[in-house]
Amino acid sequence: MAEVIKITTPLTDDQVKKLHAGDSVLITGIIYTARDAAHKKLVDLLAEGKPLPVDLKGHLVYYVGPSPARPGKPIGSAGPTTSGRMNAYAPKLLAIGSKGMIGKGEMNAGVAEALKKNTSVYMVAVGGAAALIAKSIKQSKVVAYEELGAEAIAELTVVDFPAIVAQDCHGGNIYQEGIAKYGIKD
Amino acid sequence: MREIAAQTITDQVAKLCIDANYFLGKDVLDSLNAALAKEESPTGKAILEQIIENAGIAQEGEFPMCQDTGFSVFFVELGQEVLVTGKTLEEAITEGVRKGYGEGYLRKSIVSDPLQRVNTKDNTPPVVWIETVPGSELKITIAPKGGGSENMSEVNMLNPSDGAEGVKNFVVDKVRRAGSNPCPPIVVGVGIGGTFEKVAWLAKKALLRPIGDRNPNPFYAAMEEELLERINKLGIGPQGLGGRTTALDVHVEVYPCHIASLPSAVNIQCHACRHKSVVI
Ligand code: SF4
């Protein structure tokens, strides 16, 4: 693992191309939260040809359902949730210019294909490192679907949010490479 | 009979809910540190460091160690000479969950109906298992269980002819298929014997044992060690990104079973291996 790469959102194609599976990154800027229910709403709007309540161009979507914020804190603990549940939705958001996702766990071949086609990136945050991640989140503002509670879309302002590139726009996949490298056959 | 007021139980349970979610056990922390020293993957090392740092931040009491503060599962040992007054034991525990998850800023992750899915907004109801024991004490253990790792669990009704090898292959294969989903490094609870429902309970109960603790029966102690070694050869590693540390430990619990059956179960626990007990 090389040194840590710092990136700032919104991302450009050139920045995304420099990211490779296994790279450690620190993200600064705006990221948008969304999980199952919000994705369904966004994708339904796209199907109807309607505009989305947030402009995802160049931005990253973070799969998270935080714990409640204490008074005076922007957010509670905020680690990633399982990305595989968003396999069906992710390619549709990448197609309209979102530059990638942050979650945990491997995403499927359809997503891998969409990452290549749309020059975008899938990163993972450490599942269960939710208190540590929360410290990198400086502001949280609900921007859509307030009625969904913890599942509403929030705009997070982050500074040095820690993540690892899991699946890149070149077809790289750390899950497959990492396990092949460290697996021991009897 | 010794009387214990329901309110006492409620207050203690509320504290347990909070403590379990903010303070990672020393056994887990020690084993994470030991794993860090041995891990060969640089990414794996970086992840273990984050997990250890995270536990330190959680301990300050502002952020629970994981945002998924889990389904509240309780194992209760009820002394035969204890009389709970004011409410039933289950009601007192449920009230404690409501209080603890509210006061502790813990996430409410329970829906009232599995298909209609409306959040109960207070993390109730809990799952409560009660065993009676001799004496006049009440021991309550909470094990909040996150969805990510719980979803990677399985019961398999094997044939007696599958034997120990069949059980071991099932366990290792289950962990392989779970891959990155249960937030490795994991603790693996294995149940063998009993009936369909008993074996799942055994696998869950196995997770309560401290890391490093071996089954008192040498046959099963050896099986635990062999399973741990085989699982760590899978290469899944921290968070499934490759490495030597896939499991911190494997615990096996057994029960007598029917001549025609060999029930087996795997319950996977993530590194947020939370459990806390109180004796009242
Ligand atoms: S599996 Fe465990 S560590 Fe991972 S998100 Fe769920 S509760 Fe947290």
Q: B228-256 pLDDT, tens per residue?
A: 999 999 999 999 999 999 999 999 999 99
DSSP character at residue B105: T
Q: How far is the C-alpha of B179 from the C-alpha of B176, rounded, in Å?
A: 5
Minimal-distance CA residue of chain A relative to B59: A131
Helices (H), A26-66: 36-47
Tally of helices (H runs) and strands (E runs) in chain A:
6, 7
- The tokens describing B26, both together, are 């020393």
Is the pLDDT confidence value at A186 over 80? Answer: no
Minimal-distance CA residue of chain A relative to B117: A37
Count of positions (residues) in chain B:
280
Q: How far is the C-alpha of B199 from the C-alpha of B254, rounded, in Å?
A: 8
Beta bridge partners of A28: A8
pLDDT recorded at residue A147: 86
pLDDT recorded at residue A3: 78
Instruction: Assess A157–B contact: CB distance below 8 Å, yes or no.
Output: no
pLDDT recorded at residue A1: 47
How many C-beta neighbours within 10 Å does residue A7 have?
21
pLDDT digits (tens, 9 = 90+) for B213-223: 999 999 999 99
pLDDT recorded at residue A148: 84
Centroid of ligand 1 to alpha carbon of B1 (angstroms):
41
Distance of CA B243 to the CA centre of its chain: 23
- The tokens describing A145, both together, are 């679907």
The closest alpha carbon to B63, from A162, A64, A69, belongs to A69
Q: How far is the C-alpha of A107 from the C-alpha of A63, rounded, in Å?
A: 12
Tell me the one-letter amino acid at B143: A
CB burial readout B235-270, b (16+ within 10 A) else e: bbbbbbbbbbbbbbbbbbbbeebeeebbbbbbbbbb
Q: How far is the C-alpha of B238 from the C-alpha of B115, rounded, in Å?
A: 33
Tell me the one-letter amino acid at B160: P
What is the model's pTM? 0.94
Ligand 1 pocket test, pick from B68, B73, B175, B180 with the greatest ligand atom count within 8 Å of Cβ, gives B68
pLDDT recorded at residue A2: 54
pLDDT recorded at residue A141: 94
At B256 the three-state DSSP class reads strand
Q: How far is the C-alpha of B68 from the C-alpha of B74, rounded, in Å?
A: 17
- For B278, counting Cβ atoms within 10 Å of its Cβ (0-12 exposed, 13-18 middle, 19+ buried), the class is middle
ipTM (interface predicted TM): 0.92
Assess whether the C-beta atom of B150 lies below 6 angstroms from ligand 1.
no
Instruction: State which H helix or E strand residue B253 sits in.
Output: strand B247-257
Give the closest of A130, A132, A182 to B244, CB-based.
Answer: A182
DSSP character at residue A86: G
pLDDT digits (tens, 9 = 90+) for A129-183: 999 999 999 999 999 998 887 788 999 999 999 999 999 999 999 998 988 999 9
pLDDT in tens, chain B (280 residues): 899 999 999 999 999 999 999 999 999 999 999 999 999 999 999 999 999 999 999 999 999 999 999 999 999 999 999 999 999 999 999 999 999 999 999 999 999 999 988 889 999 999 999 999 999 999 999 999 999 899 999 999 999 999 999 999 999 999 999 999 999 999 999 999 999 999 999 999 999 999 999 999 999 999 999 999 999 999 999 999 999 999 999 999 999 999 999 999 999 999 999 999 999 9
A49 and A90 Cβ atoms separated by less than 8 Å = no
Give the closest of B57, B183, B244 to A132, CB-based.
Answer: B57
Instruction: State which H helix or E strand residue B93 sits in.
Output: helix B89-103
Instruction: Assess A53–B contact: CB distance below 8 Å, yes or no.
Output: no
Tell me the one-letter amino acid at B213: D
- The tokens describing B66, both together, are 């994981």
Our CA-based measurement puts residue A38 at a distance from the nearest CA of chain B, in whole angstroms, of: 15
Residues in contact with B54: Cβ distance below 8 Å, sequence separation at least 6, in sequence order? A126, A128, A129, A130, A131, A132, B65
At A172 the three-state DSSP class reads coil
Q: Is there a catalytic annotation at residue A39?
A: yes
Phi-psi region of B220 (alpha: psi -120 to 50; beta: other; left: phi over 0): alpha
What DSSP string runs through B180-244?
TTT-SSEEEEEEEEE-HHHHHHHHHHHTTSPTT---SSHHHHHHHHHHHHHHHTS---GGGSS-S
pLDDT digits (tens, 9 = 90+) for A35-69: 988 999 999 999 999 999 999 999 999 999 999 99
B102 and A67 Cβ atoms separated by less than 8 Å = no
pLDDT digits (tens, 9 = 90+) for B44-61: 999 999 999 999 999 999
Q: How far is the C-alpha of A178 from the C-alpha of A72, rounded, in Å?
A: 40
DSSP character at residue B268: E
pLDDT digits (tens, 9 = 90+) for A63-99: 999 999 999 999 999 999 999 999 999 999 999 999 9
